[in-house]
Every structure is written in C-alpha cells, then in structure tokens.
Structure 1
Amino acid sequence: MATEQLRARSLKPGQIIQAEVFKLRSQGFNRLAHRIGGLVAENVEAFAGMDSHKALKRLQIESGVACDEVGISVPGFGMCIQKLPRSFGFESMDEAEYRESVKGICRYVASRYWPSVSPEQVEEMAESWVDE
C-alpha cells in the first residue's frame, strides 16, 4: 500500500518528503465496510446496479453513520442540511471509530432492509461474502 502511494505521487529515492505516520488497520477488517456495501448492492433491489463503494456511501447517507452535516442555503427553499459521508480510509478515522461505524451500518441494514436478521448476522454475511 505505501509503495503504491509513493509511486502515485511520482516520488523517487533521495527526494525529501514530509509524512504523517499512523498505524494501519487490518486489511481484512478494512475491506469489511465495502463488503457490506457489495452485499447490499447484490441483495437489495433499491441498490441494484451499484458497486460496493456507491452502496456503502448511500448507506452512510441514509443512516447518518460516519457523516458530517453541512448547512447549505438553497434558493427558494431556505437552509437545508446535507449529509456528507466521510472516508473510511486509514487516514480519515482511527480503528475504534471505524469499528463503531461498521457496526452502525450493520445495525441500519438489519433494521431498514433485513429486519429478520441481526446486525451481527449482517456483519457475518459480509465477512463471508466475496465480491467477484
């Protein structure tokens, strides 16, 4: 991952750079959020045709999990609140916040789309689901 990021920025050996150091979370657990998005995209009609990333962002907006709210002025309507989904990237949130966000999305999916399934079962399905 770090090598890819360095290549993407066209950095070469010997160049002076400034970097922020942070501990990476487990790659397997990092993919869990997008697996939830993929699971929903494949199994919930309202998400048909979406890739896992778009489905995840929609779940964030619908649930309010890991979102920032911004007030915007809309001519003819007045002030409106817009939810902006935050990145699940390593640099955007720490491990504890990431885990709580994933659990929040699982709770939302279970209550809104699969009421006969527990949030833990949603997480288990996502962990075993493979996006092909």
Structure 2
Amino acid sequence: MVGSYDGVPSPVPAPQGINYVLVTLRSGERWTYHPPEGYTVGWLALAKGELDTGGVVSAGEMVVFESSEAPIVLEATGTEDAVFVLGSAKPHDHSLHLGYYSVHTSAEALEAGERNIVELGRKLREAGDRRTGTGNIPVFR
C-alpha cells in the first residue's frame, strides 16, 4: 500500500523509511516479512481471522513488535483467512511528546495541538448534529 517491499514500490507517494502493506493469508498459510535494513519498528493490526505471531492474535487486535530488524514470521491459524496490515519503519530522530489525543515532537507543539483539539470539539458541540442523509460532516478551519 505504501513504501516498497520485495522490490515492488507502491504507486502512493509517501515519505522514505516506512512500509505499510495489506496482507491476506489463507488458513494454515505462513509468511515471513523481512524488514529492509534499518527498519526496526514493526506493528500489525488484524482485521479478520487469527494469526500466530509467536502468540495468538485475534481479529480487532494490534501488535507492536520488539525493536529489531529480525524477520517477522506469521501464520494464519484460524478457520478463515487472516487479513491484516503490517507496518515497518526506520525510527525517527525526534523524542516524542505524548498527549491524550496526539503525539508531537516538542512540548510546545503538543500543547498547541491539544488546545486545537479542545477547540474543535467545542465547535462541533456548538454546531449540533449536522449530519445529512448523504452523511455530510461539518468541516471547521
């Protein structure tokens, strides 16, 4: 979906240093993801089925792998196909400042972002239910 894997580049423009792939494994099928050099961050989110990742993962769960360039071995163990997205990336150079709703690269940016989220929430509550039959949602700038 994004990045490049096994010599196949995605047509979607994306920053360098990240891969995000959509995978379907048939029940009983095994697949090994080999992260590119320097890609030590890995995660997956399982939409359907069941996977053995060294432990059982069920539909609706997300897994974050230990920081490593080691291959990630996966096997679909349930009775149905396993459908999931798997991401891997190079770690970035910034320390993270974690908020309740967001992640930023500085305390100042986190504070501004959290203030903005509170303000958008206030505007949405003031606007009331603005959904239409076509599902339109208000946009605030």
TM-score scaled to structure 1, two decimals?
A: 0.25
Which structure has the bigger radius of gyration?
A: 2
Q: Report the structure, 1 or 2, having the larger strand content.
A: 2
Q: Report the TM-score, using the length of structure 2 for normalisation.
A: 0.23
Higher helix content, 1 or 2: 1
